[in-house]
Amino acid sequence: MKMERSKQSKISFRYFLISLLVVIMCLFVIGKVIKIIFVEGEGWNKKSESAIQRGVKIPAHRGNILSANDEIVASTIKEYKLFFDFREIEDNGKYIRVPQPDTLNKYIDSFCQAISKKLGDKSASEYKKIILKGYKRKSSRLELSKRVVSYLDLLEIKKFPLVNKGGGATGFFVESQEKREMPFGKVASRTIGRLKNGEAEYGIELAYDSILRGKDGKADFRIIRKQNVEVRGTEVDKENGCDIRTTIDLKIQYHAEEALLKKLKEVDADNGSVIVMEVETGAIKAIANYSRIKEGKFKESRNFAISGLYQPGSTFKTVAVTAALDDGVTTPNEIFDTEDGTYTHRHPNGRNSKQIRDWNAHRGGFGPISVTRIMEESSNIGTAKIVLKGYENNPQKFLDKLNQMGINEKVDLKIIGQAYPQIPKLSSRLWSYTTLPWMSFGYNIQIPPIYSLMFYNAIANGGKMISPIFVTDILKEGKVVEHINSKVVREQICKPKTLTEIRNILTSVVQNGTAQNLKSPKVSIAGKTGTVIIYPGEFGYDPNVRTHRVSFCGYFPDDEKPKYSCMVVVTRPRGVYPSAGPIAGGVLKEIAEKMYALGYLNEAPTLQAGEDTGKSPKIAKGIESVTETLCDSLNIKYIAEHTKEINSDTCYTESNDIITLPSVTDMGIRDAIFTLEELGLKVTANGKGYVKQQIPAAGSPYNVGDEVIIILEN
């Protein structure tokens, strides 16, 4: 009995001790809580607050700039820098190394080999040395490489040994940064524009900056292991920028740049510009500007087509003669005496005079010729006499006519830095007795090339002058939120009869005049050549040194409803005779013929006598849609693949049963995208330089509409 009581006493005593300890611990915890809340609370709150960044800006995603066919020409992409944080971290009350030594030793060699092969900037041993050194120092921000990687690259790197264990176990982390990427390189770069340090500098990037930029958001972030983790419930939503659909057609742009650059190199000119405009809409389908850096080297440094103020030379004769025809001053068949190629224009007081010369004065001039022939041969004397006949006694009437026709109307192109026509006023102190006649053939005035094109486009557009446009749509999440149409500058620049007369004259310039080299069996062209003398000098005007600026402005095809107008300007060609037809006109002709070959025009090719052999061509395996279009244009029946029927009006193609992807490896981005899109594929490009990888690989079967990813490296 006594033993049982003794046991119960011991048990009770133990329970008492345990209860006492529990009470003491609870009191200790309560005391700690009270101390933290009421004594140390302010300090802990300050420490917690110090780890939070308030109102951190969350940048909005800048909208894309698209071509007319929705290819991305400028896009904001994320790039990533690679880091390790090798500090100890707390795990269940213990501080452990990240990564664990055995984990690091097990995977470091294979990781270094993989990352070295991927980035290619260091050897595997160099990477290993950097990592071990950082691990030893417990570096909190060890930069693995100076190189940045794309999102696709990052996905691949995260599968490498070591880092595939996760950032919490290895300390691997990344920081993202945004970069404005132009997948097609420098295509139309002066018009598209660029960003510098995140700010738009020029072009469409600047003109539509507020729309592309969007609105930044804000949020509070807590700093955890050198990375920001958003504190939920504190964000102000960002509003991403809208996309912009431009008028630029990349195929036309590519061929326009190629034709211009080839000619500039051929004649070693100072600079040159080309603009291709859609007649009916005013949409600029291509625009290129190149400046000479040194012999054989050119780059786009300024948008001369928009910002250049040039004396237009003989392309302005079309404006002058249109005015005279419309005012009834003359007719296409009226004869004017251009004499022996020289004409002395005298001041009414008889004391002052100045000579006007034609380009063939050394051959004795043209003598008496019609207005049409004056334009065909681009006679300065003839044009001056036409304008003097109608306006010498009332020059203001001529200036008013220019205003009426809209040639000097200020049009907002939405491009920062655009220039406006400068036409002298009668009240100006610079006006003299020579101003009017010299204006008639394009001197004493300055007009940006795009304004000259706007006038010629009106002639092609049935007399309706519309403003050139570079952007057609603003899109939000793929849907059009605003459509932009060109504005009407003048409903009619002249009477319908005048329009018919001037169009016949411009046709004749190509068929019988100074632009005969533009005659083409593929596409008909109409327009006017222009050559102007420019006097450069180190300290300004130097009459003893002169060079030339040549131009051609016109439209094609030359039928009832032309589709495109175009202007080409080339400044200071060296080592060749400064003839506008072969130089500037040659560029336009090449562009027109390339567009014809690509199916942009309505005209169909015609067979020359003796070319019909009675046999239809056998067509090698290629792009079926292009083949069918070509056969249709030749009035040849197209038979689908595998068909072996051949007769006098049938062509066919041979192919394998399975259509596979071609290889675009080592191609530049433009050639690669062009090749794949011609097959009806959607292309996503990452990086820049030349194609190093394509997904799916070459030889893989595909269907129209499939996506192909191309990865580029320099």
The least confident of 276-280, 580-584, 621-625 is: 621-625
Q: How many helices (H) and strands (E) does the chain have?
A: 22, 32
C-alpha dihedral sign at 400, 401, 405, 409: negative
Q: Is the pLDDT of residue 216 over 90?
A: no
Predicted pLDDT of residue 107:
93
Q: Which of 525, 591, 550 is nearest to 449 (CA)?
A: 550
Question: If pLDDT is split at 50, 70 and 90, which confidence band does 605 have?
Answer: very low
Residue 693 pLDDT greater than 60, yes or no = yes
φ, ψ for residue 260, nearest 5 deg: -65, -45
| Residues across the chain | 714
Average pLDDT (404-426) is: 93
What is the arithmetic mean of pLDDT over 679-690? 74
CA angle 351/353/357 to nearest 5° reads 165
Q: Is 693 helix (H, G, I), strand (E, B) or coil?
A: strand
Q: Say which residue, 95 or 553, is predicted with more confidence.
A: 553
Among 188, 406, 190, residue whose Cα is nearest residue 307: 190
- pLDDT tens digit string along 20-30? 777 777 777 77
Residue 329 has pLDDT above 60, yes or no: yes
Strand pairing class (637-639; 650-653): parallel
Instruction: Report the distance separating Cα 473 and Cα 185, nearest Å.
Output: 23
The Cα–Cα gap between 183 and 64 comes to 11
Please state, in angstroms and as integers, the Cα–Cα distance from residue 39 to each residue in 26, 27, 51, 271, 707, following that order.
19, 16, 21, 77, 64
% of the chain beyond a pLDDT of 70: 81
Is it the case that residue 559 has pLDDT exceeding 60?
Answer: yes
> According to the model, what pLDDT value does residue 435 have?
94
Radius of gyration of the chain (CA): 37
The residues pairing with 550 across neighbouring beta strands, listed in sequence order, are 531, 570
Average pLDDT over residues 550-561: 95
Terminal C-alpha separation, the chain: 96
Task: Work out whether strand 488-490 and strand 465-466 pair parallel, antiparallel, or are unpaired.
Answer: antiparallel
Q: In the predicted model, what is the mean pLDDT of the chain?
A: 83
| Res 623 pLDDT > 60 | no
The pLDDT assigned to 611 comes to 43
pLDDT band at 652 (very low <50, low <70, confident <90, very high): very low
Q: Which of 170, 83, 143, 155 is nearest to 118 (CA)?
A: 155
Asked if pLDDT for residue 50 goes beyond 60, the answer is: no
Local structure of 147: helix, strand or coil: coil
If pLDDT is split at 50, 70 and 90, which confidence band does 277 have? very high
Q: How confident is the model at residue 714 (pLDDT cuts 50, 70, 90)?
A: low
SS3 string, 324-382, reads HHHCCCCCCCCEEECCCCEEEEECCCCCCEEEEECCCHHHCCCCEEEHHHHHHCCCHHH
Mean pLDDT of 93-106: 83
CB 431 within 8 A of CB 425: yes
- Please tell me the predicted confidence (pLDDT) of residue 235: 63
| Helix/strand/coil for 558 | coil
For β-strands 284-294 and 297-299, DSSP reports them as antiparallel
CA distance 485 to 473: 9
Structure-token pair, residue 453: 């094109």
Q: Which of 44-58, 136-150, 660-674, 689-703 has the lowest mean pLDDT?
A: 44-58
Residues 6+ apart with CB under 8 A from 548: 531, 532, 533, 534, 572, 573, 578
Give the model's pLDDT for residue 638: 53
Measured CA to CA, the distance from residue 507 to residue 316 in angstroms comes to 16
Which pLDDT score, from 0 to 100, does residue 389 have?
Answer: 96
Count of Cβ atoms closer than 10 Å to residue 498 Cβ = 21
- Distance separating alpha carbons of residues 317 and 506, to the nearest angstrom: 11
Which residues have a Cβ under 8 Å from the Cβ of 525 and sit 6 or more positions away?
Answer: 510, 515, 518, 519, 554, 555, 556, 557, 558, 588, 589, 592
pLDDT, tens digit (0-9, with 9 covering 90-100), for 392-403: 999 999 999 999
How are the residues of the chain apportioned to helix, strand and coil, as percentages rounded to the nearest 5? Answer: 35, 25, 40
Tokens 């005969």 belong to 516
Whether the predicted pLDDT of 640 surpasses 90: no
Distance in angstroms (rounded) separating the CA atoms of residues 632 and 609: 20
What is the longest distance spanned by two Cα atoms in the chain? 156
User: 431: alpha, beta or left, given left = phi > 0 and alpha = psi -120 to 50?
Assistant: beta
Q: Which two tokens stand for residue 36?
A: 């933290």
Least confident segment among 103-107, 150-154, 460-464, 629-633: 629-633
Burial class (CB in 10 A: 0-12, 13-18, 19+), 64: buried
Q: Is the pLDDT of residue 502 over 70?
A: yes
Q: Are strands 65-66 and 243-246 parallel, antiparallel or unpaired?
A: parallel
d(CA 359, CA 343): 12
Tell me, what's the pLDDT at 635? 57
Integer Cα distance of 382 and 386 in angstroms: 6
Mean pLDDT over 207-230 rounds to 70
Q: How far is CA 597 from the centre of its chain?
A: 23
Where residue 641 falls among pLDDT bands split at 50, 70, 90? Answer: very low
Q: Pairing between strand 682-687 and 707-713?
A: parallel
Tens-place pLDDT, residues 656-681 = 445 778 888 878 777 787 778 777 77
* Residue of higher predicted confidence among 1 and 402: 402
pLDDT of residue 604: 47
Say whether pLDDT at 262 is over 80: yes
**Residue 93 CB neighbours (<10 A):** 5
Give the three-state DSSP class for 534. strand
For strands 217-224 and 52-58, give the pairing. Answer: antiparallel
* Average pLDDT value for residue range 59-88: 88
Count other C-beta atoms under 10 Å from residue 636's C-beta: 17
199 confidence band (pLDDT: 50, 70, 90): confident
From 4-13, 403-412, 521-530, 601-610, the region with the lowest mean pLDDT:
601-610
Where does residue 7 rank: exposed (0-12), middle (13-18), buried (19+ CB within 10 A)? Answer: exposed
> Residue 633 has what pLDDT?
54
Q: Residue 631 phi/psi, 5° resolution?
A: -60, -40
Continuous H helices in 166-208? 167-170, 189-192, 203-207
Higher pLDDT, 259 or 165: 259
Q: What are phi and psi of 593, to 5 degrees?
A: -70, -35
Which pLDDT belongs to residue 305? Answer: 94
Spatial contact of 564 and 285, defined as CB atoms under 8 Å apart: yes
**Tens of pLDDT, residues 346-385:** 887 777 889 999 999 999 999 999 999 999 999 999 999 9
Task: Kindly provide the residue ranges of all beta strands, DSSP E only, lying in 600-689, ordered along the sequence.
Answer: 618-619, 637-639, 650-653, 682-687
